[in-house]
Amino acid sequence: MMLLAAAVVAAAACLVAALVLDGVRQLGVGVLAAGLVLGVGAVSPGHAERAVLDLLPVVGYLVAILVLATLVERGGVFAWLGGVVAAGARRAADPGRRLVLLAVLAAAVVTALLTLDATVVLLAPVLVLAARGLGRDPWPLDLASVRLANTASILLPVSNLTNLVAFDASGLTFLHFTLLMAPAWLVVVAAEHVVVRRAQRPADVTPVATEAPVTVPRPDRPTLVVLGVTLVVIVVGGQLHLEPVWPALVAAVVLGVRAALTRRPGLRLAPTRLLAAGQVPFAVFVLCWAVAVTALADRGGADLLERLLPGGTGVGSLVVVALVAMLAANLLNNLPATLLLVPLAAPVGPEAVLAVLIGVGVGASATYAGSLANLLWLRNPALEHPADVGRRFHAVGLLVTPVLVVVATAVMAGTAALVGT
């Protein structure tokens, strides 16, 4: 009982640290939590080491892609996207409707290719600026950024940290994973477009003259080339079992050296800024959190969840798996929920693993605690959320998210039955 209590305290401390702390203080809590479960014997050193080593490539990819996303932003790619969205909306017969559509598409693509963190930290501010530049209510685009950061992260194995955790356990290739998830991804992105459109408030709209031109800044061409090549290598390399951390790391180093040596003020970025962009303390914190979650699983957490999960791969069973994963994500956060549930789902089959990912991905939009992306969005100083942002976010999340989880899981199950796993 004492060992279970220690595991619960350690896991809870990490969750609270993830929600309210950052930087060195967050890392300190993680180190103490890992030290506690190791010190009292709630997890064996060998099991803790295995959990850390299994997660290292995933955390390494997180660091590399955060640095790469910052360099891509420095190269003007996100400003260019914002300009394209604004210009496309300005030319439309109904600028407000077109603005929301283009913003949803941009958020979905950026999330799928550069992870959800890039969407809430780097893309969201330029979308909000695009709305304000057109005299439109920025809230729908603000909401689109955070919701699509979660729901659109189910497409690729590299779109979300949770996907990377589960990818090997699924036994699928990169393209097979994507093929099975693509129809569900299309459905939830289309559904999110409807949700965000309904969030638009006509009273908050003050259209500006549509004749005024919108300037679309040109992105840095070498940055675009490196980004494009990197994404191709990640996809092709995934088929050859190449860890995505390596192409992401090479791209970050190439663009990072260029940013440090260039004389162009807009592109120049000091190495210390790049290191900060990688959020290394948070990456180490994630490894410590994994140790605490491993202890919780060893001390009864896995047994409890196993009793809640059905053993079949029919549509009904997979929907239950996804809903359990959604509840776990919003109670524990999506990362520990994934670490606990994937080992239980893997023996059932790849469909069950994908159902878990839908639950912790799409389902993370229900509450602030569902994902760290929600918290990054909430704390982003470049965004000016409405005063009642919590009420608006949760009114949409609690009502819509469970429905999307059920629909997405059913579509994925149908796809798996059609094309096989």
pLDDT of 308 over the 90 cut: no
pLDDT of 303 over the 70 cut: yes
Q: What is the mean pLDDT of residues 160-180?
A: 93
Write the CA distances from 373 to 9, 124, 149, 151, 199, integer angstroms: 24, 12, 7, 11, 20
The model's pLDDT over 331-345, given as tens digits with 9 standing for 90+, comes to: 888 989 999 999 999
pLDDT of 366 over the 50 cut: yes
Q: Are 365 and 146 in contact (CB under 8 A)?
A: yes
Q: What is the mean pLDDT of residues 188-197?
A: 96
Residue 239 pLDDT: 81
Domain boundaries, the chain: 25-204+213-419
- Pick from 368, 57, 358, 397: nearest CA to 234: 57
The model's pLDDT over 238-271, given as tens digits with 9 standing for 90+, comes to: 888 888 999 999 999 999 999 988 888 778 888 8
Residue 216 pLDDT: 80
Residue 301 pLDDT: 84
Q: 406: Cβ–Cβ under 8 A, 6 or more apart, which residues?
A: 319, 322, 323
Q: What is the mean pLDDT of residues 395-399?
A: 95
The span from the CA of 267 to the CA of 256, in Å, is 10
Q: What is the mean pLDDT of residues 96-120?
A: 94
The model's pLDDT over 119-146, given as tens digits with 9 standing for 90+, comes to: 998 999 999 999 988 888 899 999 999 9
Give the range among 100-104, 121-125, 178-182, 380-384 with minimum mean pLDDT: 380-384
Residue 206 pLDDT: 53
Q: What is the mean pLDDT of residues 362-386?
A: 90
Token pair in block for residue 79: 């400003």
Q: 79: Cβ–Cβ under 8 A, 6 or more apart, which residues?
A: 73, 126, 217, 219
Residue 203 pLDDT: 46
If one compares 108 and 264, the residue with the highest pLDDT of the two is: 108
- Pick from 342, 323, 316, 348: nearest CA to 414: 316
Most confident range, picked from 208-212, 270-274, 390-394: 390-394
Residue 181 pLDDT: 98
Residue 212 pLDDT: 55
The span from the CA of 86 to the CA of 244, in Å, is 33
**How many CB atoms neighbour CB 212 within 10 A?**
10
Residue 123 has φ and ψ, to the nearest 5°, of -80, -40
Mean pLDDT, the chain, integer: 91
Q: Are 287 and 386 in contact (CB under 8 A)?
A: no
Structure-derived torsion over alpha carbons of residues 42, 279, 249, 34, reported in degrees to the nearest 10: -10
Write the CA distances from 299 to 116, 330, 333, 339, integer angstroms: 32, 21, 19, 14
DSSP 231-274: HHHHHHHHHTT--THHHHHHHHHHHHHHHHH---TTT---HHHH
pLDDT of 361 over the 90 cut: yes
Q: What is the mean pLDDT of residues 43-66?
A: 92
Q: What is the mean pLDDT of residues 9-38?
A: 92
Residue 205 pLDDT: 52
The model's pLDDT over 196-240, given as tens digits with 9 standing for 90+, comes to: 998 876 544 555 544 556 678 889 999 999 999 999 999 888 888
